[in-house]
Structures are given as structure tokens and as C-alpha cells.
Amino acid sequence: MTKLMIVESPHKSITIKGFLDNDFKVLASQGHIRDLATTGKFGLGVDVESDFTPSYINMKGKSKIITTLKKEVKEADHIYLASDPDREGEAIAWHLKDALNIPENKYSRVTFNEITKEVVKEGLANERKIDMDLVDSQETRRILDRIIGFRLSKLMMAKVAGAKSAGRVQSVALLLIVEKERRILAFIPKEYWEIVAKFDGFDAKLEKYNNKKIEINTKEEADNIVNSLDENYLIKSVDKKLAKHQSKPVFKTTTMQQLASSKLNFSSSKTMQIAQRLYEGINIGKDTVGLITYMRTDAERVSKEFITETYKYIEDNYGKDYLGQVKIPKTNQNAQDAHEGIRPTSILRTPDSIKGYLSDDEYKLYSMIYYRALSSLMAPQVVEQTQVSLLNNNYEFKANGSVLKFDGYLKVYSKYEDQTDTVLPNTLKENETIKSKEVESTKHATKPEGRYTEASLIKELESLGIGRPSTYATIIKTLKDRDYVKIEKKSFIPTEIGIKEIDKLLSEFGTSNHSFKNIINVKYTANMEDELDKISEGKLNKVEVLKDFYNEFEPLVEEAFKEMKGEEVVKTDTQCPKCNKHNLVIRNGKNGKFFACEGYPDCDYTKSLEEPKTITTKDENGEDVEETCPNCGSALVEKRSRYGKFIACSNYPECKYIKGNEKKDKEPPKEIMDCPVCKKGKIVERKATRGKNKGNTFYGCSAYPRCKAVFDSIPSTKPCPKCESVMVIKNEKRVCTSCKYEEDNI
């Protein structure tokens, strides 16, 4: 009996094939194979008049994959659809079944929360049919996003210069950023003063007067208090207590993205890309195995098997005192999937034991996931907290101390969680009097709330019930790519275009003063997520949800196209130098005002209104002089592109000099041996400059592109004795690149 398993990723297919019998063939669809067409009303690919029936087309570049899969489906006795274990994965499985014409009695749906031999076998033992409620929920999300995205994007491009897109969740995320920025700009700092008494070994801050919390708003008030104090302070109380601080549960998608942002400086999209590789499988010597569980999850629970294995590991390596309690996850009504949290597939695969098989970034993320999961089952840290209260003329000062008594989970997790001791003297006793060395008053001002970082924006979106774990990285990437936000010191600042788009979306139009406020807001978006959840549970009908939405939304869009005022452009009397047909107008763009042809899009002429900034340098007398182009002698100026600022020749396009692009002398690549493939070139050592293997060493032929020989390890001069293919040297062995024959490298 021949069996075919279809997964999403080629890398995952290689990993899973290693776990299965020879009667299995494992192929990859390489993600989605179909998407909504762009035909029909408004190009939505959805028949809104016929119960929102979608029209699907094969995705660009997938024809060969689909042809291959159809051929394999016909030849197989049974097909296992093994796309990812979430709604999107369920939808991919349905598309595969439909597009490949797989009969109902010839397929099974299987899912794996981790890519290990045991779990893959378990998944096969629990085969089922496609859950159409999950598919309906995902299809509804896709149709909603298509309708809102296409209609609002076209509206915004017509009404806001420089606008590129709008979306159901994207625009609400931008709204949060814009609203916070406006609160920051409107914030008025308020002056306040703090008074601190300094003693031998510690400081105490003034907090109360006559047992009531005190606020000091002026220097005069602060001076009066300081002048009323004498040097003697009565120790009112010395309170000591032990406090336990529990470890955090294993990661879910959002908490992983947040900590990776703050501790590893990874963007959310980078975090998810690396986690995907760790999930799909890494070659760790003899085996290729998934190192972590599925990384798109709302859950924080872990399996009994993992708990048992980890408890034994903790006891063997740290002792019984370090054993902690299993975390009971909080109930989350918006949790989408019944997965585990993100954890290593085996606690025995320590980060250091497999470091040699991981890139630097893979090692960093795997370590963070590993130690979070390990620490989650370890004992709490125990801290001795001390609070000392001191009285002086009815003013009460307080000093707080904290000393770690037992490290508990910090034994393995201190790198990701700060713990600093603040030690107070042991000699302090109640009802005794001590003298202060100095009393200091300092002026402060209240500060506005901080801007969103990637981590805090993801946390806010999650807490508001907006979007899902798989969507946050895409939302943030879209806001960056569309130039709706810029990033300064890791914080989001809305651009002028971003602010204008939000203002236009929320503005009133027409005589009826309608707006999109009821759709582009937090509550509506969160409620829509709830409705999608109910569709996935079979509690709501997708067609009714889409009808209710569309009947409210589309009339608003049509009215907005007619009544919403567009951004005014300033007309000039200057003729366009490119087409010589139309005059120029002045428009607003992301980099300021610019001239554009009134005949756009037939003529795409543009020119910045701002004069380029001339670059200066210091001469031998310290005077500013213009920096000139080394090629033609013209002035160098600062320019902008979508990638940021750069310095180039002002004589462009006659001179195309760009500072920093000069060719630099490079050391010749290190030659290893004669090329065993073409026999003409040399095998040289190189570094990958792009892609997921960027920075990794590889070995290729110097005669490239005539010879495309490339190896991840140093080739051997000895051919394979079985098939005569090239062998490479790995782990003190020679391994054939074709038949995998291996022998000791003697």
C-alpha cells in the first residue's frame, strides 16, 4: 500500500520522512496553493450576491507543484493532509483536498504539535476528517480582510496622498499608535519634588505626613519641609518577611515575541521565521528533529510526558529543592487552539549540546525557549523583603530592601529576568534613634506614557482581543513597509501619512455625517474575532456574519467615494518637463512636499520641492567646505530612498556616484582543493551573504556560474566507493552527498 503525506514545508517533509516507513512518500505544498481571485465585483474574488461564494485560483508559481501533487495523489492508495495544526493549516488541507480532487474515502487529516518521531506516529494514529467549522472560520477571515482591504485601500489611495493600504486589523493597530502619539504630544509635565534622607548604608524617601501620603509640588514646600527636620530619626518599625516569586509559564506566541524583542532585539517577523525552522526540524548529527513544539499558539499548558521528563531532569541536575509546581493556565475566552505552549520537544536537548548545529540566532531563540520551559517547572525564588519606617517631626520616611535567599528558577533563568539585591543594615532596631548625614530635595517632572515598541504593541493587541498569534508579525511588518510608522529607539512613531490616513478614516463625510468609526475601532475588531471563534465552534453561520458586515460596510464605502473630501493639491502654471502635456501640481508625500504631473498615472514625473542638503566637511583650518564627488567634482548631497538617507552626487543621472558604494579591495577567497566536479576550478571557502544561512560558511567552485558545485562541508578528494559521487567531511567522517554512504576519515 502506497501512502502520500502532504505537508507545507519542504524542510518539514525531510524531517518527517525520516520517521516513517518506506511505503510513505512525503511531499510539500510549500504553503498555500490557492488564493482568492481578483475578478468579479470590485475585484474581490467573492460573489457578494450569491452567499459570498469565493472564487479561488492557483497561486502564481504553484502550477508545477499542483501538477506533481495531482500525479502523486492518483498513484497513492491513501493521502494524509498534514498541514499545520491551526485554522490556517485546516484551510490549507481543505484547499489541497479540493484542488487535487482527493476522494472523501481516500484521505485523512493528521496534525502534529511537534515534529518528533513519537508525536508524528501518534498523529497518524489519530487521523480524522477536515474540520469544516475551522475552514469556514478561516475563509470568513480571509473574505472579510479582502473586502475591507480592497475597498478601504482604494478609498484611501484616492483621498490621501501617499496612502497605500488599509485593513481590518492593520488600521486599528495604526490607530492605537496614532492615539498614543497624540496623548504624548498633548501631555503637560507637572512639577513635583522628592525628599531623601541619607544614612550610613542606605537612603530613605519621604512618603507621608501625619500618616497621610504627601505630595510636594514646589521648591518652597520642599525647602520648608527640609528646614523643619532635625538630624535625629526615630525608627518606627522594621518589618521583614519572606516572599516567593513564581516562575512564568512556558511561552505562547505573543510572550515569545515580546521577550525576543526586548532581550534578543529580534523583530516579531524574525522571531517567527526562526521559530518555524526550529519547529520544522534541525539536523543535529545523526537525526533531523523538530526542536520545539508548534509556535503559533495561545496556550500555556504542557504535556504530562514533558512534565515527567523535566521533573526528573531538574532533580538529577539541581536537586529536589528546585522542583516547582505545574502552572495552571488562566482561561482565555479568545484562545484559538487546543495546543500546548511553546517548549523544547525534549528537555534533554540542552542548548549547549546542540549549539554546533544551530546558527547564532537559532541558538539564542532556542535557549530562551528552553530555559523558559525548564524554569516554569522549577521552584520559586525566595526573597527576604525588609521595610524600615523612620519618623521625624511627623514626617515618615521609608527604606526598602530585598535580598535573594533562594534562587529557585533563577538558577537557569537569571539571564532573562533581572534580580538585584538591595541590602539594608542589620543593626536597625525599632524605637532606636539614628542620625542622618544629609537630607536632599530634588525636582522632578511627570513624564508621558512611553511609545509602543513591538513587544508592547503585541501585548496591547492581545489584551484587547485584536488579531491572533499568527497575525501580529504580519501586521507590524505591513505598517513598516507602508511607511505608516517609523522606528526610533525601538519605538513606533506614526508618520505624517499614517496620521493622515487614520484621520481620514475617522472623519465624517456627507450630509449625514457618516464615518468608519464604528468599524475602525478596537471594540468592533475584537467583537469580530469573537464571531470568527464562534464560527470555528459551529455556533455561528459564516454567511450570516458576512451579510451583516457587508450590509453595513459597503453603503458607507460608496458614500465615502462620493462625499469624502480628498487631499487638496496645489496647482501650478509650470508645464511638466517629461510629457509636456500637463501642468505640475504640488502634493504631499512621506518625505515632504513634491512636484508631480497632473496627468498621473499616464505620466509619473515627480521632483522634490525641497533642495537637497549639501554635505560639508572641515578643511585644514577647521572651516566648513562643500564635500565634492571624487568622480566628477560636483557637490555631494543628502538624498532619500525607501531604504533611508544616503549621500550621492548632485550631478545625477550623468554621474551615478554613491558614497559608501566604492569597491573595496578584498582578500582572495581561501582555496581548499581542486573542484571534484568540473576538475577545472578550485573549491574556495565563502560566506553566505543573504537568506536564512547568511553568515554561514560554505564551499563552492571558483568557476561559478559555469560550475555550480556547492557544499556545506569541505569536500573529500576521495569519491564515494559505492556511487562515485562527491563525499564531504563531517564529524570526522566522509559522507557521500548522494547515497549517504559514510566511512571514517582516516
Active centre residues (catalytic): 294
The span from the CA of 395 to the CA of 397, in Å, is 7
**Plot region of 7 (φ>0 → left; ψ -120 to 50 → alpha; else → beta):** beta
Q: Which of 414, 467, 483, 457 is nearest to 267 (CA)?
A: 457
All three cell numbers of 581, joined, read: 502635456
Neighbours of 659 (CB within 10 A): 15
Beta bridge partners of 443: 193
Provide the β-strand partners of residue 530.
Answer: none
Q: What are the cell numbers at 209? A: 505626613
Grid coordinates of 264: 534578543
Q: Are strands 282-283 and 710-711 parallel, antiparallel or unpaired?
A: unpaired
Distance between CA atoms of residues 406 and 244, nearest Å:
9
User: How far, in Å, CA of 572 to CA of 556, rounded?
Assistant: 34
Torsion angles phi and psi, residue 219, rounded to 5: -65, -35
Closest to 703 (Cα-Cα) out of 663, 725, 733, 671 = 671
Closest CA to 549 of 209, 152, 148: 148
| Nearest in space to 167 (alpha carbons), one of 135, 142, 136 | 142
Do residues 400 and 369 make contact, with C-beta atoms less than 8 angstroms apart? no
- What is the distance between the alpha carbons of residues 307 and 157, in angstroms, rounded to a whole number? 53
Q: Please, what is the Cα angle at 565 between 564 and 570, to 5 degrees?
A: 160
Q: Is cis: bond before 577, omega within 30 of 0?
A: no
Strand partners of residue 730: 733
Reference 411, options 549, 547, 313; nearest CA is 313
Asked if residues 65 and 30 have their Cβ atoms less than 8 Å apart, the reply is yes
Distance between CA 13 and CA 115 in Å, rounded? Answer: 10
Task: Report yes or no: 366 and 358 within 8 Å, Cβ to Cβ.
Answer: yes
* Pairwise CA distance, residues 615 & 637, whole Å: 5
Phi, psi at 728, each rounded to 5°: -125, 160
Query: How many helices (H) and strands (E) would you count in the chain?
Result: 17, 36
Q: What is the DSSP letter of 342?
A: B
- What is the number of other CB atoms lying within 10 angstroms of the CB of residue 563? 14
What distance in Å separates the CA atoms of residue 143 and residue 36, rounded to the nearest whole number?
8
Burial class for 713, CB neighbours closer than 10 Å (0-12, 13-18, 19+): middle
Rounded distance, CA 261 to CA 250, Å? 17
559 and 507 Cβ atoms separated by less than 8 Å: no
Whether the CB-CB separation of 626 and 614 falls below 8 Å is answered with: yes
By DSSP bridging, strand 24-28 and strand 606-608 are unpaired
Q: What is the largest CA-CA distance in the chain?
A: 95
